[in-house]
Amino acid sequence: MNYLTRHDSLDDFFRGFFVRPVAMERTTTEAAPVKIDVREQEDQYYVQAELPGVKREDIQIHVDGATVSLTAERHQEKELREGERVLRVERHFGKLSRTFQLGQDIDEDRAIAKFADGVLQLTLPKKIAAQAKRITIQ
């Protein structure tokens, strides 16, 4: 390690002591997409979606054939204590949504949804395709 590299490293180290801890470079206000995991079995799909900070009553699930749409709303707490001020808000508040297509139509009458610890779990049975029937001529 030469003198210049060592000197720059020390400057960076000491500069960190004088920078406000909330001064970060990220300035985007875009919401992160809803993250999902999808698994398939012969007769059904399993979906897990991360929805931290969302209440059960603020989640809506819509199934149309093989298309699944999740929408939710995360509400911001507006309570500030006396003498307190907000320095930075990085968590997203407002509407969240995610739409995805599965390989086969879903039997929405047998679908099951559970929500616990910020994770939505869907069990989506595949719709049984109508079997082709042979018609005998009389």
- Domain-located, residue 60: yes
- Domain-located, residue 123: yes
Per-residue pLDDT of the chain (138 residues; tens, 9 = 90+): 555 555 566 565 555 555 444 444 444 445 457 899 999 999 999 999 999 889 999 999 999 999 999 999 887 767 666 777 776 666 667 788 899 999 999 999 999 999 999 999 999 999 987 666 778 888
Q: Bridge-partner residues for 61, per DSSP?
A: 70
- Domain-located, residue 83: no
pTM (whole model) above 0.75? no
Output the domain CATH number for residue 71. Answer: 2.60.40.790
- Domain-located, residue 21: no
- Domain-located, residue 11: no
Range of the domain at 43: 31-76+92-127
- Domain-located, residue 136: no
- Domain-located, residue 106: yes
- Domain-located, residue 25: no
Number of domains in the chain: 1
